[in-house]
Amino acid sequence: MSDINGVLSIAGQALITQQRAIHVTGHNIANVNTPGYSRQRLIMSPTVAFDSVVGIMGNGVSADEVERIYDRFLNAQITSETYVMGRWDAQKQSVESLEVIFNESLGSGLNQAMSEFWNAWQALSNNPSGPTERQILVTRSQVLASTFNKLDADLAQAQQDLDRSIVGTVADINELSAQLADLNQKIVSFETVTQSANDYRDKRDVVLKELAELIDINAFEDEHGAVTALIANGRPLVSGGSVWQLSTETNASGLEDVVWTDGAGNTVNINTDISGGRLKGWLETRDMVIVDLVNRLDTLAQNLMTEVNNLHQVGFDLNANAGEVFFDGSATAAGIAVNANIVADFNLVAAAMDPLTVPGDNRNAIDVANLQHQLVMSGNTATFSDYYSTLVRDVGNEVLKADSYHTHQSEMVAQLNNYRESISGVSLDEEMINLLKFQNAYAAAAKLVSASDEMIKTVIQMI
Amino acid sequence: MRVTNNTMIQSIVRYLTRQNEAIYDRQNIIASGKKINKPSDDPLGMGRVLSYRQSIAAIEQYQSNIKTGRTRLEVIEANLDLVDNLLQVVRSLAETEVAGTTASRQLAADDLKTIYDQVLDLANSKLNENYLFSGYQTKTAPFTRDDSLATTFDQYTVTYNGDDGEMQYIVADNSRVIMDADGRPIFHNAAAGGLNIFDEMRDLIVALENDDTVAISTQSDRLNQGRNQIKNIRSANAAIVYQLKTTENHWDNYKPKIENLLGDEEVADITQAVLELKSLEIAYESTLATAAQISQPGFLNFLK
């Protein structure tokens, strides 16, 4: 009805709607720095028009819904790129800590310890009965053995550290899964009553992204608005309000494996199925990279032990007795040690070839010293020192590889985040302009009220 | 593209992080003077650095071995030179005494007994507490005069207590120089067809004491042969010294080359690093200036 009250009612509706729009603008401004927040806007539409004698007349504005500006496919992409980034981030961090263990750039390390060991044998050959030369050889051999031991212990320590990170991450995943299930329930129950649980959805996206940093996540939304998250080769982690817990269990090497519990309560080891997130990076370094390095160090220590011992036992010591083993302990980097008898009595170092040629015979010492140049490693193609240089080189390559994947991937995620920001991010300039716009509309609507008021007064004064 | 405040701030944070990393790298290079500070800086280069370092350590050891070997030969040479001088004295005494009197021959015999002991001492020379001429038996005096059986000088004999050992020195990868440490070819070579210097001297002394002119003349000749026996050993040793010197020269030339290669591989070009650091600092400062600009709200300034 196109009467004065009708104008007043349009004005009233307009005041309320513009005020709501200012409210939404205010919400946007307030959340300009909230991670994962998607800007919102008030959808306005003209109210139902009525048919008058002059034709269809509009009946003012109404606020329909608060819409969240958002690209759901973009978020799925961010999730999947995030777990790849999480993996390389963790792997980069962890191999960088290994690099410190093998850092030979200062010239102290296994390479030098080996050089000094061989040189000590040569020095002994220059004076086979010399007590100083013998003592230096025993000391250098102990340094060599303890350098092996230390490398192995450092690697074991790195492995333990990663193990603890893995256990902690599994707890974090369970925590985030619970949050995800909780948000699922809130969104579903909220959206059956009203239209869109905008802020809960933003929060859920943040939780999904945090999960994706930790483990490979494949997430999709069902028709009720609940998200199902699958991990490690399609195993459900969260579906609606249900959570499948992850836990850890100690394996044969004393390290923790990640296990998933199915609906019936059976546990499944998912170590090898995990394909992304920090868990993947840590598992990779702990179970592949470190294990490989330890094996190679063990091979080096074992071959060194065998070759030196074989020659040493052929020789004869200063008492004209056959040489004992030079290195004993287990044939690993962790176990190699200089025979305690030789440490206690350096006269047991067997420099001679024959019991009758003691003490001036240095031929056995020379044979041991010449092991330095013998191709005894890698199927008789490399010397001890070649073998170790290759190992150090490979550690450097691991770091370079993880670093370049990480740089590439974080650039990718940054680009996607920029893209997301360009769609969903709050621009303060934009919001300020909107604020002005709504403020002006609000002022005009108020003017409409006073105009109606004057109109009514005019009518009353007519009487 | 729609650019929001957060887009700008995030990209500034990213650039600052990246620039900081680059600045940190250059600072490391300048502080350490090396361009390879960790294996991942250049994995292949690190491998070469390790192998050069190992070569240098090995060369230094070879140089030390060669020096030890040369010292040994120099000490032997000094000793044998002294022995040769003594034998020369003996021989000229003998030549003089061919025409000497009974009295002068007695005096000469007494002089020779002292020289005999001196030569015996020299044959028992030590280096670093090791006997030089006893083969592998470096803790056993090679030559002893068997006093227990002898009642008169003509019964003196010198026994060799060593063996046929040798001394080997590593002078290069898998290559060694061998020196004979057996004292017999020098002093005590009768069994191998040479001369026993001690017996020849004893016989000369006995001949002088017995006033036997023919024997004195014979011994004078035989002692001359003894000098040749020692000369031959000395020239063989000279050949070994030459070999050691050549090898030493080789290492003296070779080591700086490897050190250069090592330097090329790991020593940083500091000038370049400083220049890079400067230009990075400029970039860093401009990013900071930009950050200060955009962190002020744009449109807000124009309201009111």
Q: In terms of domains, do A27 and A108 share one?
A: no
Do A431 and A393 share a structural domain?
no
Contact A417 B1 (CB under 8 A): no
> Chain A window 17-56: which residues touch B at a Cβ cutoff of 8 Å?
32-33
A65 and A107 together in one domain: no
Instruction: Specify the pLDDT at position B299.
Output: 65
- Domain boundary among the residues A397, A417, A439 is at A397
User: What digits encode the pLDDT tens for the residues B162-186?
Assistant: 999 999 999 988 888 999 899 999 9
CB pair distance less than 8 Å for A389 and B37: no
Our CA-based measurement puts residue A277 at a distance from the nearest CA of chain B, in whole angstroms, of: 21
ipTM of the shown complex: 0.82
pLDDT of A399 reads 92
Q: A56 to chain B nearest CA, in Å?
A: 39
Residues 147-206 of B with CB under 8 A from A: 163, 165, 167-170, 173-174, 176, 181
Q: Any CB–CB contact under 8 A between A359 and chain B?
A: yes
Backbone angles phi, psi at A228, to 5 degrees: -105, 130
pLDDT tens for each residue of B52-88: 998 999 999 999 999 999 999 999 999 999 999 999 9
Residue A62 lies in a domain: yes
Q: Answer yes or no: is pLDDT of A107 > 60.
A: yes
Domain assignment present for residue A182? The answer is no
CB A88 within 8 Å of CB A220 = no
Select the residue of B5, B39, B165 nearest A99 (Cβ to Cβ): B39
pLDDT at position A36:
86
Helix orientation angle between A290-314 and A131-193, rounded to the nearest 10 degrees? 160
Q: Which residues of A touch B140 (CB under 8 A)?
A: none
Element (H, E) at A409: helix A384-424
Choose the final residue of a domain: A382, A397, A412. Answer: A397
A352: nearest CA partner in chain B: B136
The model's pTM is 0.82
Amino acid at B133: F
Judge whether A234 lies within some domain: no
Whether A287 has its CB under 8 Å from any CB of chain B: the answer is no
The reply to whether A40 and A141 lie within a common domain is no
Q: Residue B41: list chain A partners with CB under 8 A.
A: 105, 396
Helix (H) or strand (E) holding A390: helix A384-424
Higher confidence at residue A37 or residue B4? A37
Q: Which residue matches tokens 């005069």?
A: B145
| Final residue belonging to a domain, choices A357, A382, A397 | A397
Answer yes or no: do A331 and A368 share one domain: yes
- Domain holding A458, by residue range, is 4-69+426-462
Secondary structure class of A406 (helix, strand, coil): helix
Mean pLDDT computed over A431-458: 90
Average pLDDT, chain B: 88
B51·A389 Cβ contact <8 A = yes
Instruction: Tell me whether residues B39 and A396 touch, CB distance under 8 A.
Output: yes
Same domain, A146 and A295: yes
Q: What percent of chain B has pLDDT over 70?
A: 95
Quick one: tokens of B155? 């019964």
Q: If you average pLDDT over every residue of chain A, what do you get?
A: 88
| Shared domain check, A447 and A376 | no
Shortest Cα distance from B239 to chain A (angstroms)?
A: 20
Nearest CA in chain A to B2: A422
Residue A207 lies in a domain: no
The answer to whether residues A431 and A363 belong to one domain is no
Whether residue A328 lies inside any domain: the answer is yes
Q: What span, in angstroms and rounded, lies between the C-alpha atoms of A336 and A219?
A: 51
Whether chain B has a CB inside 8 Å of the CB on A396: the answer is yes
**Mean local confidence (pLDDT), A20-32:** 92
Beta-carbon pairs below 8 A across chains A and B:
188
Confidence of residue B193 (pLDDT cuts 50, 70, 90): confident
Touching check for A404 and chain B: CB below 8 Å? no
The confidence score (pLDDT) of residue A76 equals 83
**Nearest CB to A358: which of B46, B69, B136?**
B136
DSSP E strands in A232-298: the ranges are 235-239, 242-243, 246-250, 256-261, 267-269
Q: Report yes or no on A193 lying in a domain.
A: no
What's the token pair of residue B174?
Answer: 């898998």
- With CA atoms as reference, the chain A residue closest to B133 would be A360
* Percentage of the residues of chain A whose pLDDT score is greater than 90: 37
With an 8 Å Cβ cutoff, is B18 touching chain A? no
The answer to whether residues A309 and A387 belong to one domain is yes
- What pLDDT was estimated at residue B296? 61
Give the count of domains, chain A.
2
Whether B67 and chain A come into contact, CB under 8 Å, resolves to no
Task: Tell me, yes or no, whether A301 and A389 share the same domain.
Answer: yes
Residues 79 to 98 of A: which have CB under 8 A from any B CB? 96
Q: Is A247 helix (H, G, I), strand (E, B) or coil?
A: strand
Confidence of residue A311 (pLDDT cuts 50, 70, 90): very high
Residues A438-444 have a mean pLDDT of 92
Same domain, A59 and A110: no
CA distance linking residue A395 with residue A97, whole number of Å? 10
Across A1-15, B104-118, B130-144, least confident range: A1-15
| Predicted confidence (pLDDT) per residue in A259-305, tens digit | 888 878 888 888 888 888 899 999 999 999 999 999 999 999 999 99
Q: Band of the pLDDT at A72, cuts 50, 70, 90?
A: confident
Arithmetic mean of pLDDT, A359-376: 89
Helix pair B43-98, A110-126: axis angle to 10 deg: 10
What Å distances lie between residue B4 and A38, A174, A426, CA to CA? Answer: 12, 34, 6
Q: Which of A393, A394, A408, A426 to mutate to test the interface with B (most CBs of B within 10 A)?
A: A393
pLDDT at position A1 over 60: no
Contact between residue B2 and residue A423 where contact means Cβ atoms under 8 Å apart: yes
A71 in contact with chain B, both atoms CB, cutoff 8 A: no
**Residues in a beta bridge with A52:** A55
- Whether residue A359 is preceded by a cis peptide bond, meaning omega within 30 degrees of 0, is yes
Does residue A259 fall inside a structural domain?
no
Where helices occur in A260-373 by DSSP H, the ranges are 277-284, 290-314, 340-344, 363-370
Do A376 and A311 sit in the same domain of this protein? yes
**What is the DSSP secondary-structure string of A82-136?**
HHHHHHHHHHHHHHHHHHHHT--TTS-SHHHHHHHHHHHHHHHHHSTT-HHHHHH
Residues B239-253 have a mean pLDDT of 93
Which residue has tokens 């060799």? B160
Task: Tell me the percentage of chain A whose pLDDT exceeds 70.
Answer: 99
Is A239 domain-assigned?
A: no
Residue A107 DSSP class: S
Taking only residues 82 to 121 of chain B, the set having a beta carbon closer than 8 angstroms to any beta carbon of chain A reads none
